[in-house]
Structure 1
Amino acid sequence: MSTYRFDRLLAPRTVAFVGAGSREGSVGRSVLANLRRSAFPGAILPVHPTEAEIEGLPCARALSDLATPPDLVVIAVPPPHVPDLVDEAGRIGAGAALVLSAGLGSGPGDPGPQARILARRHGLRLLGPSSAGLSVPSRRLDASLFAHAPAAGDLALVSQSGSVAAAIVEWASRRGVGFSAVMALGRALDIDASDCLDHFAADLRTRAILLCLDRVEDARRFMSAARAAARAKPVVVLRAGRHRTQDVDRGADRTGPTVTHTGALARPDAVYAAAFRRAGLLAVQDLEEMFAAVETLGRQRPFPGKRLAILANGLGTGLLVTDLLADHAGTLAEIAAQGPRPAGNPVSLGLDAGGPAFAEALEPLLADEANDAVLAIHVPTIRSDAQVVAAAVAGVVGRARQGQTRKKPVFAVSLGEADAVRDTYAGAGIPLFATDSEAIEGFLHLVRYREAQDDLMRTPDSLPRDFSPDTEAARQIVADALRQGASWLDPIAVGALLGAYGIPAVPLTLAPDIDSAAAAAWPLIAAGEAVALKVVSPDIVHKSDIGGVHLDLVSEADVREAARSILTRARRERPDARVTGFGVQPMVRRGRRRELIAGLAEDPVFGPVVVFGRGGTAVEVIDDRALALPPLDLTLARDLIGRTRVARRLDAYRDVPAADLSALALTLVKIAQLAADLPQVRELDINPLLADETGVLALDARVRIGRAPQGRYGERDRRGGGHPGFAIRPYPAEWVRSLNVKDRTVLVRPVRPEDEDLFRTFFEGLDPESLRLRFFGPVRAFSHVFLARLTQLDYARAIAFVAVEVDPDGKERMLGAVRLHADANHDSGEYAIGVGRDARGTGLAFALMRLMIDWARSEGIRRVEGSVLAENRAMLAVCRRLGFTQMRDPDDPGVLKVKLDLGTPPPS
């Protein structure tokens, strides 16, 4: 339901309160006291079956006795009574309910599901149960259990844990940091983190979002909301229980059994970290780091650049900070000489430096373009007063910002800080930290946010045109194995599957017995090659654990002896295992090749994940790996490689040439594509994957298969197509079309991120009048950020179709495009369209609009809306033919609002 009725929850005019009885110290009484203490301007309406009044407020006997429906109902009653109250609140037309009651959402006989069903029947939004409340300071609404009412500000805090939310609010109250809203989600039967991200991403009063969670229920909704929010403003996330393997709420093992190396490496904490990274969120590890983020974001906006200048009254203190910056991969600015002061960073003023010395040194640093931010560190001494220094720093910064178009960020550390010092820095909008480590963390939060934004906007490399997997052959391989009841592909099928996706592998011959193994090995041995012999068993995944791999066999006798040894040990150590034969392969000398691992694992929350790292039998002990959510492009694949320690070994060193990173990145993209095409592939383990300057080679691989996951993300996403388990909707290849328009056939396909140059060329070829009709004003430049927003789509909530002509060499020329972006509720979508001059009058605009409408219907979107200049008669004619209604924009008479109700099909 996303942001539906959030206005009734966060900006209520009336609040009804059920459960605030006469008992002192009860949850309901405590929250009611906070609500009254916050001077809520609306009506507070207590409801109690026997009390005549509570805290001097007259009581109604039931919700239905209230004269007018309340916007918000606060419920603090025993769990069995909650469903009836939710039903009653819905029936009288209440907008939202805050459920403080604990004990719902788990256990036998749980009334939580019933409450959720009743709420959704009436369109009532639920916050909770087990919520610690909510607070909206600008509305003077504090219906919470927090010890201090949050101050007004522009940070939104959303937390599944009430205690974590209370800790952050209490810390912020002592630091003068304020919030646009604080929401404690509790068990989140209805309103969840995804809904809150959607709301606060669009909230003009919110500059940054703080998110505290321990679990994600609907990964696809979460990833879509998180990616959209992170593009709009900083989102800092703290996850509790990172190393927990059991879901406390359900008592279920979230990791499940793992049988492959990739499965063992894809632990829940690593998968969550990969998801947060892909969404562009700033992940912090603990409350201390979250506090540093709050202090930073509460005072300072994100800024470009990462070079830090350090100013301190002591060289030792400054050097400690430079060490911390280097430890966290930060960048130290180069500082030129300033008068008698020599060049160098940090700038040391001496232990007795006071306010004038700090002011004199800080002014040139603020004006210096060789640094992007300044950190001022003060250690109080008997000759250097902290308050005087704080006033001097605040004064210099205030004067400098008056003349700066880009206000350079300044951070401060005052060891042994006092309230007056804190107030001085807060008044100047300067983040203040108690320690140098907190300051470096705070600085780097903003640096990493900017880098994450750059990563989100980075244009990926185009995939090689010759990468065209044989998906039909791959599907047949998996289908045949499933029909036979197999849960693992046999080695021949594994080789064929890798071959279908162009992943080079060592050829393998399957031999059912010792004699056939010797016969298969003989041609290789006769040619002077050594042979590797491996056990083949659907029940033995790690062959080396039972001595199931013998290498460097150079005679038939060696092969027969190795085969007998494998059978003997397998029968002794795994008597239950079915041994179906032996795999015979030519020996591959590793030489200068690096031994890697690559594959797929399946996470119960986020679905398939791509795993890459250092390979070999000790892969789990070494634990050098990185994870990424598919789908991948070449840019994301290179980033995945770069996040491992083994990446450094892929570069050239001594007489060893660098490995072919392009081939390795393409292999990871192929693995991700395999996951998208074949939901029945549940785990894939290539270990080792050998890499050198000539490319990659899969030396050994195993593939676990099973029925495709069904219904992970609800009805809407099942209609959306693609892999049903992907947390990120993959490229919707099923929407590629060939359309006949007048005398030509054009290819129409969903837009890809690498289409940026295609769009730039198209826009640059449009005349100024066409651009004005399309963008409602003159457009002089098409920046990377502008084009990235048009081409990098979240297919879960937006689509864009581009029409192209393809020449004999495969080069595309863009003729036009249409796009539709759904709102957060997935209820309506706003469209935009542009067609080139040479495609006008061909019917292309009409065809693109029809295709966009078909997509909207398939997604369950109820209406399509748009804005058209009144003088754009051609577009208005297309809209009339398609059945759009038209009306003047009350705010701009030169614009017409067009709308199409998708309850009926468009005219043919």
Structure 2
Amino acid sequence: MTVRNLEALFQPRSVVLIGEGGDLDRRILRNLLSEPFQGPVMPLMQGVSSLAAVPVYSSLEQLPAIPDLAVITQPVGHAPDWIRRLGELGTRGVMVARSVSPDCSYERSKELEQALLEAARPYMIRVVGPGSSCLSVPHLGLHASTMPVTLEPGRAALVTKSSAMAGAALQWCAEHGAGLSHVIHIGGAVDVDLGDSFDYLATDHRARAVIVYLERVRRTRKFMSALRRLARMKPVIVLKPVEVGADEIDDFVYDAAFRRAGVVRVDDLEELFSAVEILETSRPPGRDGTLGIIGNSRSLGLLAGNALRRYDNSPQRISAESSDKLAGLARDPEASDNPLDLGGDAGASEYDKALDILGGDRQVSGILAIKSPGASDDGQEVAEVIVKHAKRLRKPLLAAWGNSAGESGKAFLEDKVPAFEYPEEAVRAFSRLLQYRRSQTLLMQTPPSVPEDFTPDYEQARLILSAALTAGRDQLNEYQTQRLLSAYGIPSVETRRASDPEQAAEVAEEFDQPVVLKLMSPEVELKSQVGGVVLDLEGGAAVYAQAQAMLERLHKVSGDNAAFDGFAVQPMSRRDGAFELTVGVRPGGQFGPVIYFGHGGTETEAIADWACGMPPLNMHLAREIMQRTRIYSMLKGSGLRGGDLDAIALTMIKLAQMVIDFGSVKSLDINPLWSTRQGVLAIDAGVEVRPHPGEAADYLPIRPYPQHLTEQIELRDGRQCQLRAVLPEDGPQLNAMVERTPPEQVRMRFFQALKTLPQEMSARLTQIDYDREMALVVTEPGVAGRAKMLGIVRISADPDLEGAEYDIMLDPGVAGLGLGKMLMRRIIKYARERGVGEIYGEVLRENEAMLRINQALGFVVEVSEDDPSLMHVRLPLS
């Protein structure tokens, strides 16, 4: 469904508990009454006069107020009838606490879940559950929970599908004196799921960060779309355990999805909350770089350094200038400058000087200050120095202070300096900061739907794939594979097809060099079964003899009528020091195809050095995948031997484009892909195909940048401009346009006085998810982010596409040139093609120019029911 009516669940003014008077009802009622919830809490049960000393109502008609939220504890089979009756009354939120009975068959379970949806849909009631054990909003005093709740209001929300995880989090918070802004256990998620929860929390200012526990994902595109939107607005930390017996690739795919969504993945419950704390309190590192480590203990410093190498493999070097300055502070000037041992008697002065030096070093992206317990008695003075530097530094400063924190710990807590008991904990936390920064960089990447300067032969690829599918094949042969790679500009060994041994011999003679001969037959899964590959054959006679022998072995194994596609003849290639790599496409389950890269050759499975990412890709994203492998450092090379990193990345981008274009490509494995400094060459490859209806891009979790919307336009005054979809780089130019616009026009657009756009608002308008939003911009010619913006129109659609709200803004210099009406027509056309049911918006009554455009385009214009100063405009599209 949509985010509509979710406030009835998360901000209710009144609650009804519909149950049977049992222990479950008592527990929930006790929790509902344990905090100062401002609205009425109304138990409704038949045959029960009171529960926990609270009067009980026997019918909906007796309730003194219409409940916003209903908590139903009766068996799931009774819930649909209650939902219909509540809908008639005006209730818009329902929590179904009981799960479907485990004795129910799968079919019966689905029937019950469907009945819940069908009962809720006519009234737009939002349903959490079935089997939801906790819906808690502490700042409201709302605790609709089946488990004990003692929870202070906090700044992080928890969303989970696991009741046990919700309970563990509540217990952890109680033991550590921590709080949460929300606890949302979605249970069976028949209606409100992870995506809906993310969408709601994205705009709730009380949730400064969001914690997510999940095991499996349904509705993948909705999940990714909502998660990416949420991560653009606040830190998101995910805990997803690896399932016992799960395929290794499954976890790799989830990891790739989380990276691309801009979230941080952690490994355990303890780290989950420490990650929230450091992401909330620390400045993000501005770039990948060194963690400068200082302290009064050589041993603790070395342990921190070891932990750093374990969590982050990048070099940890400070600048030569800083190294020289720090030498005068070190206990042993000949020892390492990072970590730096200030000596056991180091006091506030030594820490102050060291922090000054490292704070000014541009190679240092964060600092860890360690103090050994009991080493000196001026811990409070040193802590004050740490706090002083933390306030002014534009990089994270962490403290590892042991068990003797005392007043120091209070100072750190009050001034929000992340402090840890052990150096290893601090290093792990810093690594999460780096991970968050890198993930946010990936989140902001918007690869074009077709890379620039790359035009695949789409028609040739389509013919190859459709021919194989029409013939009932699930794999391409060597000749088809080479032609498919060629259609996408991927260098590969020249492959010629020969229909019989005689023609194979002729082709070999034409090559005039040693060749490779391969049998092509769908009957043979492994060519080794029939000796179907022979290397280094010289001359036509040798090729003829081997081809004839291959045919005989094929007929012996598969019969005289065995399907035979011919022979593939290729020139023999010499490796000559090239790196053996593997790249390709693998099925990623619910997340669709993923692009992988790794160490290739015959031992690729044993070496197990590979990483994957989600399409679409650009050079930055492809390089990031490569950097997660061990072989990447070898490919960079420092001597004569190295790989062509750009050519490898471009190969991955082309494969990503292939799966965007053709969902029928199930998997594609290039192994080996040879790489030298001069380029790449695909030596061997295999392609699996499958029938795939519809547009491939519609099935991808991340919709590619819509390059097809780009066009050149001419304004009435003759100016040449570009119209295209918005990019994250457009933020500064959007802000510049706002600053050029008269205050009254800005007020009409944003309904408030603004001199400049807040950074969060600018990001929200330009860093969009093309699956559920679209913003078209008109700019002067030039590079995105530098070209002057002249106008922007935007729609934001409900997840179900029932409606989309629009907004538009023009530069004052283009008034009267018809740009507003043209942009509106373009966005209406786009919305109609996407299947949006209706475009709507709110326009100030005095904004006559916009209202004239609305009327000219056929919008229905009505006075807003909520505010007579606003006009509600809507245009039905279907």
| TM-score, with structure 2 as normaliser | 0.85
- The residue number in structure 2 matching 1:413 is 400
Q: Residues 510-659 of structure 1 correspond to what in structure 2 (within 5 A)?
A: 510-524=497-511, 527=512, 529-543=513-527, 547-563=531-547, 566-567=550-551, 578-656=563-641, 658-659=642-643
State how far apart, in whole Å, the 2-side matches of 1:459 and 1:7 are: 32
After the TM superposition, which residues 245-644 of structure 1 pair with which residues of structure 2 at under 5 Å, given as runs?
245=246, 267-297=249-279, 299-300=281-282, 302=284, 304=286, 307-329=290-312, 331=316, 336-337=325-326, 344-346=337-339, 348=341, 359-364=348-353, 368-370=359-361, 373-381=366-374, 389=379, 392=381, 395-396=384-385, 404=391, 409-416=396-403, 425-457=412-444, 465-524=452-511, 527=512, 529-543=513-527, 547-563=531-547, 566-567=550-551, 578-644=563-629
Instruction: Kindly indicate whether the alpha-carbon contact (under 8 Å) linking 1:20 and 1:29 is maintained by their aligned counterparts in 2.
Output: no
1:53 maps to which residue? 50
RMSD: 4.2
2:684 match: 700
Moved more, 721-730 or 788-797: 788-797
* Superposition deviation, residue 45 in structure 1: 1.3
C-alpha change, 1:273 and 1:568, in structure 2 (3 Å) is farther
Q: Residue 32 and residue 358 in structure 1: after superposition, are their counterparts in 2 closer, same or farther (change >3 A)?
A: farther
Which residue number corresponds to residue 260 of structure 1?
Answer: none
Distance in 2 between residues matched to 1:37 and 1:419, nearest whole Å: 33
- What is the DSSP-based 3-state SS (H/G/I as helix, E as strand, rest coil) of the residue aligned with 1:635? helix
Residue pair 1:127, 1:191 contacting (<8 A) in 2 also: yes
Q: Cα offset for 1:813?
A: 8.2
2:28 matched to which residue of 1? 31
602-611 or 324-333, which deviates more: 324-333
Q: Aligned partner of 1:634: which letter?
A: M
Q: Describe the shift of the 1:743–1:505 C-alpha distance in structure 2 as closer, same or farther (beyond 3 A).
A: farther
Deviation readout 1:394-414 (Å, 9 max, x if unpaired): 55556667xx46686543434
In 1, the alpha carbon distance for the partners of 2:387 and 2:437 equals 24
Q: Deviations over 1:107-155 (max 9, x none)?
A: 3411223223322333121222222212111111122244442221111
3-state SS of 1:626 partner: strand
Is residue 107 from structure 1 mapped to residue 106 from structure 2 by the alignment?
A: yes
- Report the equivalent of 1:862: 838
* Stretch deviating more after TM superposition (100-109 or 431-440): 100-109
Paired residue for 1:718? none
Give me the whole-angstrom Cα distance separating, in 2, the residues matched to 1:747 and 1:478: 39
- 1:362: Cα distance to partner? 4.5
Residues 350, 844 of structure 1: alpha-carbon distance in 2 compared, 3 angstrom cutoff: closer
Instruction: Summarize the Cα distance change of 1:484–1:857 in structure 2 as closer, same or farther, 3 Å threshold.
Output: same
Structure 2 SS opposite 1:728: coil
Q: Distance in 1 between matches of 2:558 and 2:407?
A: 72
> In the alignment, what sits opposite 2:215?
214
Distance 1:284 1:196, change over 3 A: same
Q: Residues 726-770 of structure 1: CA distance to partner in whole angstroms, max 9, x if unpaired?
A: 1111233554567686697978654264975xx978998999458
SS in 2 for 1:211: strand
Residues 1:151 and 2:148 are matched in the alignment: no
Return the alpha-carbon distance in structure 1 between the equivalents of residues 455 and 763 of structure 2: 26
Is 1:829 paired with 2:805? yes
Preserved contact between residue 597 and residue 613 of structure 1 (Cα < 8 Å): yes
CA pair 598-898 structure 1, distance change in 2 beyond 3 A: farther
What are structure 1's unaligned runs of at least 5 residues?
A: 246-254, 256-265, 711-720
Match of 1:126 in 2: 127
2:236 maps to what in 1? 235
1-side partners of 2:141 and 2:443: how far apart? 37
| Equivalent pairs, count | 850
Q: Secondary structure at the match of 1:723?
A: helix
Match of 1:5 in 2: 5
Aligned residue among 775, 784, 787 for 1:800: 775
Q: Distance in 1 between matches of 2:404 and 2:19?
A: 43
TM-score relative to the length of structure 1:
0.83
Contact kept in structure 2, 1:20 and 1:54, CA below 8 Å: no
Q: CA distance change for structure 1 residues 499 and 399 in 2, over 3 Å: closer, same or farther?
A: closer
**Secondary structure at 2:189 match in 1:** coil
Distance in 2 (alpha carbons) for counterparts of 1:399 and 1:633: 42
- Please name the residue that 1:18 is paired with: 18
Identity %: 34
| Segment drifting more, 195-204 vs 572-581 | 572-581
CA contact (8 A) 2:669 2:685 kept: yes
Rate the CA distance shift 1:302–1:73 in 2: closer, same or farther, 3 A: farther
**Paired amino acid for 1:281:** V
CA distance 1:840–1:428, shift in 2 (3 Å): closer
In structure 1, give the amino acid aligned to 2:175: R
CA contact 1:879–1:898 (8 Å) conserved in 2: no
Distance 1:332 1:867, change over 3 A: farther
How far 1:903 moved relative to its partner?
1.5
Aligned to 1:671: 655
Post-superposition Cα deviations, 1:539-581, rounded to whole Å, max 9, x if no partner, equal: 4455457643211111334324433554566667778974433
Residue of structure 2 equivalent to 1:727:
701
CA distance in 1 between counterparts of 2:765 and 2:57 reads: 54
- The alpha-carbon distance between structure 1 residues 13 and 397, as it changes in their structure 2 partners (threshold 3 A), is farther
Post-superposition offset of 1:450? 2.7
CA distance in structure 2 between the aligned counterparts of 1:51 and 1:783, rounded to whole angstroms: 55
Residues in 1 aligned to 2:540 and 2:24: alpha-carbon distance in whole angstroms = 80
Distance 1:578 1:85, change over 3 A: farther
Code of the aligned partner of 1:186: G
Give the C-alpha shift of residue 869 in structure 1.
Answer: 11
Distance, in Å, in 2 between the alignment partners of 1:48 and 1:867 is: 47
Contact 1:746–1:803 (Cα < 8 Å) also in 2: no
One-letter code of the match for 1:845?
Answer: G
- Check conservation: 2:71, 2:97, Cα contact below 8 A: yes
Alpha-carbon separation, structure 2, partners of 1:15 and 1:762: 44
Q: Distance in 2 between matches of 1:655 and 1:571?
A: 49
Alignment-mate amino acid for residue 807 of structure 2? Y
The superposition leaves residues 404-429 of structure 1 with CA deviations (integer Å, 9 ceiling, x where unpaired) of 46686543434447999866754443
Unaligned runs of 5+ in 2: none
Matched, 1:72 2:69: yes
Residue in structure 2 matched with residue 84 of structure 1 by the alignment: 81
